Chain A
Amino acid sequence: MLSTYFKIAWRNITRNKSFAAINIFGLATGIAACLVLFIVIKYEFSYNKFIPGYESIYHITTSTTTADGEEHNPGVPAPFIEAARLDMPQMTFGSLSASFGSQVTVIGKEANAAGNKKFIEETGIYFADPPFFEIFKYKWLAGSGAVLKDPDVTVITQVMAEKYFGNWKAAVGQFIKIDNAITLKVAGILENIPANSDYPLAVVTSFVTYKSNPSLYGYSAEWGSISSNNQVFVQLKDNDTAKAGAQLKSIISKNYKGIEARQRKFGLQPLAEVHYDSRLASWGSHSISKATLWTLLLIGIFIVIMACINFINLSTAQAINRSKEIGIRKVLGGRRSSLFWQMMSETALIVTLSLVIAISMAAACLPFISHIASIEEKLNLFTPEVLLFMLALAIVITILSGIYPSLILSGFKPIVALKNKVNSTSVGGISLRRALVVLQFSISQVLIIGTIVAVSQMRYVSKAELGFNKEAVLVLSTFADSTVIARQPALKQDLLSVNGIQSVNFNSDVPSSNNNWGTNFAFDHKPDEKYTLFLKFADPDYFKTFGIEFTAGNAYSLSDTINEVVVNETLIQKLGIKNPADVLGKEIKMGGGSWRKITGVIKDFKTNSLREATKPLLLACRSKSYNNAAIKIKSSNLAATKDAIQKKWDSHLPAYANSSFYMDESINEFYEQENQLSLLYSIFAGIAIFISCLGLYGLISFMAAQRIKEVGVRKVLGASVANILYLFSKEFTILIAVAFVIAAPLAWYLMNDWLSNFSYRINLGVGVFLLAAIVSLIIAWVTVGYKSMKAALSNPVVSLRSE
């Protein structure tokens, strides 16, 4: 029986090729989209879960509640870990610290040799103690975490060992040097850390080395100093978070006094949650909020629902053509149940064909999608979980899209079906299809509006006036020790002699960055202000290099340490001063330092990404902070000039590697995630629109078939082609209008929420919504145009004779 079902299903498919193609292609697109989303979402949810016992591992966080709100820091004060080990002896605490942009020089077998290969490790070198590796049970190719009890030893991952020494087996016992200061012996090799880790360890040095070099890595034994680079993990016994929470509270009360004891709180963040909390920046390649993942999942579900709706629309539209067969089969003894199962097995066959096509579509798209979702690992389509998901998806889609048409078709009364008197009311009426199409269009309009908003916001952000010149500024970044600082003036002189270089400047931080170096401060011999003053240190050429303008006064004069200072307009406004010239000559004091004279007020530039508001800022000289060289180049011949710059660098600082970037590129990187997300949304919005167009095409085919006699009669009575086109387009124009009424408020709510991530954002005006409505109308008109034109042009004699 089943083989007969499949046989007739197959013949039906081949007979109605265009219907079948629309059905299969629509479903395949939906399934493929859903598969890709499933794999991406599954991957994002797999973060850190490869670590054995991750369920009981927690990351200790610090939060500080002030009048400005709660601030979260993924780090803890350095003395915390000793205190915690003392108070909570039954639990294992491990320490992991990081230094980003450190230099690794490969030394080789002789500890005293000069290295030849040098690398800037952007993703950081880490410092860990042995207990860290008791908590994070990574696999070892050689050695173990215990070797990190000693100073000046390091363990590296296989990939780093091969990068430094060519072969990981040869690496053990050889030496590397970090930041031209500390020579380390390689004492262990870690298996490569999976890409779905928020702790992409590469070079891990002993924590005691970190502790004994405070001038290099900023170790501070103060309880008041909290750095995100100093993190602590704990493996809880029996996963008792309540008990651990209470003990963390008592550590606060023992070690902080007064207001600080009330403000500070240590928190336990489950390791499995680290990837999703954007308040606590993770060390992985990216973090992603669960809301985003759920949104993507929802889009996947929507797309599948839309594909199912298409299927239902098209099959019920086709039902009229099938009514004769159903009638005959019933007269020949077919029961409703056997007809029902016949229709279901047809659906199953179509879904299976679609699945096969979907798998190849997904396989083709997966590398592209994982690239824009910044997933480094190669994603696999044929894991047991994905196969199981495919099976489940196929079953769900078969049921969702098959049941209704099968029930309708198998329920035909034989006499009615045989006489071809089946009409729209007996197949569920056009109203059901209308409702389904409205649902489809609501979904795709939400996605269209979302895409327009996201794209315009990202365009706004990339075109926004930042208040400084970001074009053709090359930044060379290095780990500046005293040698580098001493040689900087000579390097600068030499660089300025290079043809094509307009200006050179050394600084701690470029104008727009993710850095937030802040301090408490006082102005004009008054008590401390209640907000933070942010700092960037640079020599006076900074203003020229970045084209920053002054509203009052001038730049400070060159010096090695902080002397005179410049502030920005935001600070002046926060201080309540109207005329910038009024602060010139007044004094300001940072932290516990001395009073410094203000020589100028600069026009505001964007101190961070446009997500954040411009901060009150102070600029001054302080040569020991100058990690960056910013070089303004004449825009022609950038590459050659860059080569010349690197040559000068190597002649002055042969032992020092640098990492270089163009200012405009680094600004674009701020919005990498938003850009990727808006690209993802556009892709899936496109798919949703495509599927809903297929559905509309199905509906219009249905309507055209239904109303062929009506069209014939109207034409005989004198209706023009335009009248008939109007007859068809009126219908779905109303449907789209209804869909818009549903979609617009929903999209407004969602996108308003998304835009609130940005301090600088576009206005969500009527224009966006009008544009979306017009776009969907045009798409719909084009879709139905062909079918309704065909209906309108048909010869009434033919359609009326069919009675």
Chain B
Amino acid sequence: MISLQHIFKWVNTGSNRTFLLRDITLDIKQGEFISIMGPSGSGKSTLLNVIGMLDGFDEGIYHFLGEEVHKLKEKQRADLYKKHIGFVFQAYHLIDELTVYENIETPLLYQDIKSSERKAMVADTLDKFNIVGKKDLFPAQLSGGQQQLVGIARALITKPKLILADEPTGNLNSQQGEEVMQVFKKLNEEEGVTIIQVTHSEKNAAYASRTIELLDGRIEKQS
């Protein structure tokens, strides 16, 4: 599904070149659940953003579902990720002005899905995540765990093939984190959604089938 070959990313500060990613080569198959670990500044989030096509890279080859991402223009990349990837963030990133229902509905609006169909899809999702009773609340009225559930529900509503989660449990207590991990596990096992998560927690990393450890922008260890 994903194939990275010799990916480099750097920034120039003055005459120095600082590498964010160095020679990353990585293959990820459909249905895998992967954890990316590493200390602060090791390039975890950068790698996730590169995979998610939110960020570019300077050198290397990237195939996503057979497309040569490194040859695509920015707009085409955006189209690609919008179609296939769902994002989950540490800070949830719900739209404060929208209700739970509307937050979940938003991605569908951008895909020009008909109103009746949208209603059905949102209702399904609310049901699946057990948040029907909260659909008219605003994000500020929810606990962190609930907000993250909404964030995941929103990421999943377009039925993406890949979920990219950047420290999804970083702002949650351990019990809430546990719940989120259970949701991921279930999605991965029952629906075959590919999941790549960045995490600091060994415990959460253990949910994954494979763990990649980064240090200073290069893959230190794969297991």
Contacts and interface: CB of A to CB of B under 8 A. Distances in A.
B154 A332 contact: yes
B94 interface: yes
Contacts of B98: 8, 11
B119 interface: no
Nearest to A418: B93
A415 B54 contact: yes
Interface string B60-87: 0000000000000000001000100001
Contact of A332 (B49, B55, B96, B110): B110
A8 B95 CA distance: 10
Most chain B CB within a 10 A radius of its CB, from A4, A8, A332, A415: A332
B157 to A, nearest CB: 9
Nearest to B110: A333
B82 A333 contact: yes
A529 interface: no
A12 B96 CA distance: 10
Contact of B49 (A327, A330, A415): A415
A324 B110 CA distance: 17
Contacts of B154: 332
B158 interface: yes
B20 to A, nearest CB: 13
Contact of A329 (B78, B95, B96, B158): B95
Which DSSP category, helix, strand, loop or mixed, fits chain A's interface?
helix
A187 B96 CA distance: 78
A8 B97 contact: yes
B158 A331 contact: no
Nearest to B55: A415
A53 interface: no
Given A332-B107, A332-B110, A418 B95 contact: no
A329 B154 CA distance: 11
B93 A329 contact: no
Contacts of A487: none
B8 interface: no
Contact of B94 (A4, A328, A333): A328
B139 to A, nearest CB: 11
A327 to B, nearest CB: 7
Interface in B160-206: none
Given A12-B97, A328-B93, A328-B94, A333 B54 contact: no
B89 interface: yes
Interface string B39-57: 0000000000100001100
A624 B183 CA distance: 112
**10 closest A-B pairs by CB:** A333-B110, A333-B82, A11-B97, A332-B107, A415-B54, A328-B93, A334-B110, A331-B87, A333-B107, A325-B95
A331 B54 contact: yes
Given A11-B97, A332-B106, A338-B110, 17 more contacts: A11-B98, A15-B96, A15-B97, A324-B93, A325-B95, A329-B95, A329-B106, A329-B110, A332-B87, A332-B107, A333-B82, A333-B107, A333-B110, A333-B158, A334-B110, A415-B49, A415-B54
B142 interface: no
Contacts of A8: 95, 97-98
Contacts of A11: 97-98
Nearest to B111: A333
A12 B97 CA distance: 7
Interface of A: 1, 4, 7-8, 11-12, 15, 324-325, 327-335, 338, 414-415, 418
A1 B109 contact: yes
Contacts of B96: 15, 325
Contacts of A1: 109
A338 to B, nearest CB: 6
A415 B51 CA distance: 13
A15 B95 CA distance: 13
B9 to A, nearest CB: 13
A331 B109 CA distance: 13
A12 B110 CA distance: 20
Contacts of A331: 54, 87, 93
A335 B110 contact: yes
21 contacts: A1-B109, A4-B102, A4-B109, A7-B102, A8-B95, A8-B98, A11-B97, A15-B96, A324-B93, A325-B95, A325-B96, A328-B93, A328-B95, A332-B107, A332-B154, A333-B107, A333-B110, A333-B158, A338-B110, A415-B49, A415-B54
Nearest to B93: A328
Nearest to B92: A328
A338 B108 CA distance: 13
A586 to B, nearest CB: 92
A11 B103 CA distance: 14
A330 B109 CA distance: 12
A686 to B, nearest CB: 36
A547 to B, nearest CB: 75
A587 B93 CA distance: 101
A325 B154 CA distance: 14
A87 B98 CA distance: 82
A212 to B, nearest CB: 84
A334 B95 CA distance: 13
Contact of B89 (A4, A338, A418): A418
Given A331-B87, A332-B154, A325 B106 contact: no
Contacts of A327: 93
Nearest to A7: B102
B138 to A, nearest CB: 9
A330 B85 CA distance: 12
Contacts of B78: 330, 335
A330 B89 CA distance: 14
Residue among B96, B111, B154 facing the most chain A CB atoms (10 A cut-off): B96
Contacts of A325: 95-97
B92 to A, nearest CB: 10
A332 to B, nearest CB: 4
A329 B87 CA distance: 11
A651 B93 CA distance: 94
Contacts of A4: 102, 109
Nearest to A414: B54
A630 to B, nearest CB: 75
Nearest to A324: B93
A1 B55 CA distance: 28
A330 B55 CA distance: 13
A415 B97 CA distance: 20
A325 to B, nearest CB: 5
B152 to A, nearest CB: 13
A211 to B, nearest CB: 81
Contacts of B49: 415
Contacts of B95: 8, 325, 328-329
A355 B30 CA distance: 55
